[in-house]
Amino acid sequence: MTQNIEFNAADLSRIIEMAWEDRTPFEAIEQLYGVTEPALIKLMRRELKPSSFRLWRARVSGRSTKHLQLRHPSISRAYCPSQYKR
């Protein structure tokens, strides 16, 4: 992600939501929004309160589901089947 990309409120909210989701890998965020993992960390640091940022970093650090290469091969989706009920 270049430093000059700005997101509208809806996209920014969705990026943050995806970053908090356990099963949404960083690669999915990059594919959809062009935000790399280091850029996402900067975005989260900027947008979240310091305590929320620390909680988020502790949550995603080392979490295998946040990286496609570390995922178990049987996990082929990015979200729980019941997450997006209609």
Domain boundaries along the sequence of the chain: 9-70
d(CA 20, CA 33): 15
Residue pLDDT, tens place only, 50-85: 999 999 999 888 776 666 665 555 555 555 555 555
CA pair distance 68, 73, nearest whole angstrom = 9
Question: pTM here?
Answer: 0.73
Given a cut of 90, whether residue 6 has pLDDT beyond it is no
pLDDT score of 5 more than 70: yes
What tens digit of pLDDT does each residue of 20-51 get? 988 888 888 999 999 999 999 999 999 999 99
Among residues 41, 49, 50, the alpha carbon closest in space to that of 19 is found at 41
**What pLDDT is stored for residue 62 in this prediction?**
73
